[in-house]
């Protein structure tokens, strides 16, 4: 039987009480958002890690949005790698399992060339992380726009070839494919890939012909088919909700499961 854990994106800051409140309200996991800046230092991370020995929340980090491992500017690639490595460092202190990030954009390159460029950069990050004994895992995320690298097939291939983890954002995949893919089709592909425990994102989403527009509250009509598909294909996963009410929607999903 599939084991599914639920939690919100965003901890509300570094105050330890926030993590205790999330646990008391029923969260199984928390993804700490560094999307605009890496606002936590190692001392703060150590205190949270000590507290979490008691709380036993599954922790992850979302790295800054300002990342493009396929930039035409080598300085921007270097800055992207630096941001990811800093997140891996803090994640290791926290005891976080994953550092989620958006890998980059196709720009003028073909999907095949973009794949090779991003693969090369992720391998470099993994090698440096190993040398520094960082334990948090890299998890490039499926993305919501056709202009972004990060289709489900691309990330499964990346996982198979270099051994990084990945983050499956179900709402991004719906938006990326303009609603022409189902949760059942996604879950079937994930079961065949045999990836083990999955780190996932979910929320309601608005999209246009170009893909993702914005995250919205998570409707029951989307939650039910997703949970049914995950259970049918026996997929163990942690689902981080990224709606405007991430805790409320995460707990709603947990009740519906």
pLDDT value, residue 15:
75
In CATH, 4-256 is 3.20.20.150:
yes
- Written as six digits, the tokens of 114 are 């973009």
Q: How far, rounded to the nearest angstrom, does the alpha carbon of residue 211 sit from its chain's CA centroid?
A: 18
Q: Where are the domains of the chain?
A: 4-256
| Average pLDDT score over the chain | 96
Ranges under pLDDT 50 in the chain: none
Q: In what order do the strands lie in the sheet containing 167-169?
A: 4-8, 237-241, 198-202, 167-169
pLDDT value, residue 2:
84
pLDDT value, residue 14:
66
pLDDT value, residue 13:
64
pLDDT value, residue 12:
60
Q: Which of 81, 34, 83 is nearest to 59 (CA)?
A: 34
Q: How far, rounded to the nearest angstrom, does the alpha carbon of residue 33 sit from its chain's CA centroid?
A: 10
């Amino acid at each position: 039987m599939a084991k599914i854990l639920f939690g919100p994106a965003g901890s509300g800051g570094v105050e330890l009480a926030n993590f205790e409140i999330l646990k008391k309200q029923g969260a199984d996991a928390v993804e700490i958002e560094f999307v605009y800046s890496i606002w936590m230092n190692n001392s703060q991370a150590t205190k949270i890690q000590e507290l979490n020995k008691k709380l036993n929340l599954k922790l992850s980090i979302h790295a800054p949005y300002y990342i493009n491992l396929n930039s035409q500017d080598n300085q921007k690639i270097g800055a992207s790698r630096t941001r990811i490595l800093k997140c891996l460092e803090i994640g290791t202190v926290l005891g976080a399992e994953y550092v989620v990030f958006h890998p980059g954009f196709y720009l003028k390159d073909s999907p095949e060339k973009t794949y090779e460029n991003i693969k090369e950069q992720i391998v470099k990050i993994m090698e440096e992380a190993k040398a520094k004994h960082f334990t948090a895992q890299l998890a490039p995320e499926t993305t919501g726009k056709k202009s972004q690298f990060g289709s489900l097939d691309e990330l499964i291939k990346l996982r198979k070839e270099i051994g990084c983890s990945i983050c499956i954002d179900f709402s991004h995949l719906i938006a990326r494919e303009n609603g022409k893919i189902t949760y059942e089709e996604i879950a079937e592909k994930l079961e065949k890939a045999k990836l083990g425990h999955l780190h996932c994102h979910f929320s309601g989403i608005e999209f246009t012909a170009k893909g993702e527009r914005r995250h919205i509250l998570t409707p029951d009509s989307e939650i039910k088919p997703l949970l049914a598909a995950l259970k049918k294909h026996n997929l163990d996963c942690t689902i981080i909700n990224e709606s405007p009410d991430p805790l409320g929607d995460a707990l709603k999903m947990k009740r519906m499961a």
